[in-house]
Amino acid sequence: MRIGLELDGEQFHEPEKDKLRDQMLADFGWKIFRIKGKECYKEFKTLSDLDEEDESSKYREIQNWLCNTCDGVIKSIETIYFDDRADTPNEYYQLALRSLNNHKLANFELFD
């Protein structure tokens, strides 16, 4: 398995060129995920803060973290490709899938 993670800054962002390069890499077996620079500076509640939230609020916070932060995308890669599927609640597994699908430009399947 070949996974790449690229940080996209606004000033160097050329979506069509990036998409073509990512597709070429996908054709060679690479799965390239892209994180926007602004996603690296977001802060969200800590796990101890989430313990005080109701289930609905906790889910929204985790969804926002997985789908909109650098750390969340990295956690999504870990969840999908390296963790034991049986250890991850389905709703969080589905959020991790959504995060990875939202952070790729090339057309490739998450699973081969």
Digit-coded pLDDT (tens) for 91-108: 999 999 999 999 999 999
Q: Which residue has the tokens 């990875």?
A: 100
Query: Does pTM top 0.85 for this prediction?
Result: yes
Q: Distance between alpha carbon 62 and the CA centroid of its chain, in Å?
A: 12
Percent of the chain with pLDDT over 70: 96
- What are the two backbone dihedrals, phi and then psi, of residue 94, each rounded to the nearest 5 degrees? -65, -40
- The encoded tokens of residue 21 equal 């390069």
**DSSP notation for 19-31:** HHHHHHHHHTTEE
Q: How far is CA 7 from CA 11, 19, 104, in A?
A: 12, 14, 12
Model confidence band, residue 26 (pLDDT cutoffs 50, 70, 90)? very high
Q: How far apart are CA 66 and CA 62, in angstroms?
A: 6
Q: How far is CA 80 from CA 3, 94, 95, 98, 104, in A?
A: 12, 9, 10, 11, 14
Are 79 and 62 contacting, i.e. CB atoms less than 8 angstroms apart?
A: no
Tell me: pLDDT of 13 over 70.
Answer: no
